[in-house]
C-alpha cells in the first residue's frame, strides 16, 4: 500500500511525512500461524488469513503440545522451519542469518509488501511463496505428490486439495490465505446478515445503541483510524449490528475493542462475520466466546477460575504473591479476556490473540496468554511489599502495559505457541472450570449496585460482584498508545 506523500520531492523540497493512518496501515505486524510466529509481516497477510478462516471453518484446530515442542526445537536450532515466513531482501529465497530477521528501520520508503516475503521450507520456497500472489487461478489435476515429497514449485493457486491432504494445518491455512481474492471488496449484498441487522428498526426497549455510543470515544482513542468520525461510525455500525443479530447477548463492554481490532484489518461486513464467528459456539463452527458476555458471565467466570488454577501450576510464586495480597484475577485478567487483550495492550497484541482464537476455534489461547502474562510479572510481584493489595494491583495493571514490543512478543509467544504454558494442561484447567461453573449454585445476590448498561453484565443473579470488578478493570484505564493511563 503506497504511503501518502512518498513520491519524489517536488521542486527540491522534501516529501511530506505519511499521514498517521497510512503509517498505521503500513506498519509490519506479527501474525500467529498455529504454534509459529511470523514476525514483521505485511498487514495484508493477516487480512488474508482471517478471510480464509471465515471462508473455511475446517482450517481450525488446537495447538498441541507436540506442535509447541516442534516450534521450540526449531527456534533453538535457529533453522528454517517448515511453514515459517521470513523477510527476504529483494525477494530472494534465502536469508543472511539474523540480518534476515531484523525488523526494517523506520523510513519514508514504502513498507515491505508481500512481494518481499516468501515462505521457506528447508531452504526451498514452496508453491505458496509470496511471489506467486496474483498468479492465475487454474484448476488442478493429476495425481497428488507423495506427502514426503516437496510440493511442486510451479503449482498455481489455489492448490489442488489433494496436494495439501495430510499436510500440517498451518500449511493449509497459509495456502488458503494466499489464495484469497485480493483486494477484498468493501461492498456487501443487501441480503447478507450484516445488511439485514443494520436495516432492522430499533427496539424501544433496547439500550444497546446508547451503550455503544458511550463506548465509542474510549475505544482506541489514540488510534488514527478511530480518531475520525468515519472510523467511529463504522465501529458503531458493526457493534449495533452485532447486538441486533444476537439480541439475547446484545452489547457488552469489551466488545468494542475486539470489533475495533477486526476493523483495523477487514472491511465492515467481514469484521461483522469475524465477530459472529468468535462468539458462535464451537459446535456450529465458532470459537465459543459468547459465554464471556452472556448474562451471568459464565465464560468469564470459568476463564478466571482456570487462570487461577493454571497460574498456580505454571508460576507458584506469582500465584502466591497475588493470593497473599488478596488480588482476584478479575481485577486484572477480566479486561484481558473481555477485550481479547486489546486493553491495556496495544492492538498488535490483541490481533495476534485473535489470530490464535480464530485458528483454534476456542477460548484456550486467551487462557494461555493470560497465564503467560501473569507469570511474566513474577519478578515485579516479588519486589512489591508482601501482602500489599495496591502494589500488587499496580504491578498487574502497569507492568504488562509498559512492555516494549519485543518483550510483549516474547511473552505472548510463550502462551500462544504453548512453550511456556502447556496446551493440554490449559485445556484440562478450562474444562474443569467450565464444568464446575455449570453445576455451581447461583450465589446469593450482592448489595453492590448494578453496573451501567455498557459495562459487563450484572443481571446474572449474584454476579454483581464479578460484574463490578470487571467494570472496574475496564473503566479504570483507557488505551493510549499501548500504555495504561488513568481515566478521566
User: Can you list the domains of the chain with their CATH numbers?
Assistant: 21-92+114-132+152-178 (no CATH), 193-289 (1.10.8.270), 290-439+449-486 (1.10.472.80)
Neighbours of 344 (CB within 10 A): 26
Contacts 24+ apart (CB under 8 A), 130-134: 130/85, 130/178, 131/91, 132/156, 132/157, 132/178, 133/178, 133/182, 134/182
- The string of pLDDT tens digits covering residues 1-10 is 333 333 333 3
- The string of pLDDT tens digits covering residues 250-299 is 999 899 999 999 999 999 999 999 999 999 998 888 999 999 999 999 99
pLDDT at 3: 31
C-beta of residue 271 within 8 angstroms of C-beta of residue 262? yes
Closest by CA position to 483, among listed 222, 277, 306, 251: 222
Partners of 486 in the β-ladder: 477
Q: Where are the alpha helices (DSSP H) in 246-363?
A: 255-263, 268-279, 298-314, 316-325, 333-338, 347-360
Cα distance between residue 74 and residue 67, in whole Å: 11
C-beta of residue 358 within 8 angstroms of C-beta of residue 53? yes
pLDDT at 349 over 60: yes
User: For the ranges 31-45, 223-237, 362-376, 443-457, which has the lowest average pLDDT?
Assistant: 443-457
CA angle 300-303-308, nearest 5°?
Answer: 125
Cα distance between residue 95 and residue 191, in whole Å: 48
Amino acid at each position: 500500500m503506497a504511503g501518502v506523500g512518498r513520491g519524489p520531492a517536488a521542486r527540491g523540497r522534501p516529501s511530506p511525512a505519511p499521514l498517521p493512518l497510512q503509517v498505521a496501515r503500513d506498519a509490519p505486524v506479527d501474525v500467529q500461524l498455529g504454534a509459529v510466529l511470523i514476525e514483521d509481516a505485511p498487514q495484508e497477510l493477516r487480512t488474508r488469513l482471517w478471510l480464509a478462516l471465515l471462508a473455511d471453518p475446517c482450517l481450525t484446530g488446537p495447538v498441541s503440545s507436540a506442535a509447541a515442542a516442534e516450534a521450540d526445537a526449531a527456534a533453538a536450532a535457529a533453522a528454517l522451519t517448515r511453514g515459517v515466513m521470513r523477510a527476504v531482501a529483494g525477494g530472494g529465497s534465502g536469508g543472511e542469518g539474523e540480518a534476515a530477521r531484523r525488523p526494517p528501520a523506520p523510513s519514508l520508503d514504502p513498507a515491505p509488501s508481500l512481494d518481499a516475503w516468501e515462505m521457506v521450507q528447508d531452504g526451498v520456497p514452496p508453491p505458496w511463496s509470496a511471489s506467486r500472489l496474483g498468479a492465475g487461478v487454474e484448476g488442478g489435476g493429476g495425481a497428488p505428490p507423495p506427502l514426503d515429497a516437496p510440493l511442486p514449485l510451479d503449482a498455481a493457486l489455489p492448490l489442488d486439495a489433494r496436494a495439501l491432504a495430510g499436510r500440517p494445518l498451518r500449511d493449509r491455512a497459509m495456502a488458503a490465505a494466499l489464495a484469497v481474492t485480493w483486494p477484498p471488496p468493501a461492498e456487501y449484498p443487501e441480503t447478507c446478515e450484516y445488511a439485514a441487522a443494520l436495516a432492522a428498526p430499533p427496539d424501544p426497549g433496547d439500550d444497546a445503541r446508547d451503550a455503544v455510543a458511550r463506548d465509542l470515544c474510549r475505544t482506541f482513542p489514540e488510534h488514527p483510524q478511530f480518531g475520525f468520525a468515519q472510523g467511529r461510525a463504522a465501529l458503531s455500525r458493526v457493534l449495533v449490528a452485532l447486538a441486533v443479530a444476537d439480541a439475547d447477548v446484545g452489547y457488552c463492554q469489551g466488545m468494542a475493542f475486539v470489533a475495533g481490532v477486526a476493523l483495523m484489518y477487514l472491511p465492515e461486513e467481514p469484521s461483522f462475520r469475524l465477530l459472529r464467528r468468535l462468539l458462535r459456539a464451537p459446535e456450529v463452527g465458532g470459537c465459543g466466546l459468547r459465554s464471556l458476555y452472556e448474562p451471568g458471565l459464565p465464560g468469564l467466570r470459568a476463564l478466571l477460575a482456570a487462570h487461577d488454577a493454571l497460574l498456580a501450576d505454571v508460576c507458584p510464586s506469582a500465584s502466591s504473591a497475588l493470593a497473599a495480597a488478596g488480588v482476584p484475577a478479575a481485577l486484572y485478567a477480566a479486561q484481558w479476556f473481555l477485550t481479547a487483550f486489546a486493553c491495556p495492550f496495544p492492538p498488535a497484541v490483541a490481533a495476534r490473540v485473535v489470530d490464535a482464537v480464530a485458528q483454534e476455534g476456542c477460548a484456550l489461547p486467551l487462557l494461555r496468554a493470560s497465564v503467560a502474562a501473569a507469570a511474566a510479572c513474577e519478578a515485579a510481584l516479588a519486589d512489591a511489599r508482601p501482602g500489599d493489595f495496591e502494589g500488587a494491583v499496580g504491578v498487574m495493571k502497569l507492568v504488562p502495559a509498559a512492555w516494549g514490543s519485543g518483550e510483549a512478543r516474547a511473552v505472548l509467544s510463550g502462551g500462544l505457541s504453548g512453550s511456556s504454558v502447556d496446551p493440554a494442561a490449559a485445556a484440562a484447567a478450562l474444562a474443569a472450570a467450565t464444568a464446575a461453573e455449570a453445576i455451581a449454585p447461583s450465589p446469593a445476590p450482592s448489595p453492590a449496585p448494578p453496573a451501567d448498561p455498557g459495562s459487563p453484565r450484572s443481571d446474572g443473579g449474584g454476579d454483581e460482584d464479578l460484574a463490578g470488578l470487571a467494570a472496574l478493570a475496564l473503566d479504570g484505564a483507557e488505551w493510549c498508545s499501548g500504555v495504561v493511563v488513568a481515566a478521566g
